[in-house]
Amino acid sequence: MRLIRIENVTELSLNLSLNSNQQLMSISFGNLTVLESKSIMYFAKLKVIDFKNLNSPTSFNSTPDNRLEFVSFENTPSLTDVNLGRSSHLETVMFIDAPRMKPLDLSSCRLISFPVSILTLTSLEILNNMQNN
């Protein structure tokens, strides 16, 4: 299993956990009205998480020492808090229409370039992108 795609669901309660032997590399959530529980446990090979057209969640926290390289939040009006700190493999993060974002933690990320989409976050109050050496 390399990809999980969940789309066009009215309500979903999700706790996703696989052992580290699994080949899951990408998770995509789209057109979900309610995503109640969101727990995506450590996956050794997970590189991509993509959120599109979600009325929830309000926050996203990555686990330490993950292998995420790309995270995208598109049309996520209720998203207020993102913590991608300690995502040392993260190269790209995108925000498209995330109007309520306040704190954003990108500490220890290995971003290829400054994510220009951050400039569209008009409600952003705290940006932590300090490198912890």
**Long-range contacts: 44-47, Cβ < 8 Å, 24+?**
44/20, 47/89
Q: Which residue has the higher pLDDT, 51 or 34?
A: 51
Over residues 81-105, the mean pLDDT reads 87
**Alpha carbons 16 and 14: distance in angstroms, whole number:** 6
Boundaries of every domain in the chain: 3-128
pLDDT tens digits, 4-50: 666 655 555 554 544 444 677 877 777 766 655 455 555 667 888 88
| Res 113 pLDDT > 70 | yes
Q: What is the pLDDT of residue 120?
A: 84
- Flag whether pLDDT at 112 surpasses 70: yes
Q: Which two tokens stand for residue 18?
A: 């696989």
For residues 55 and 84, which has the higher predicted lDDT (pLDDT)?
A: 84
Given a cut of 50, is residue 128 above it in pLDDT? yes
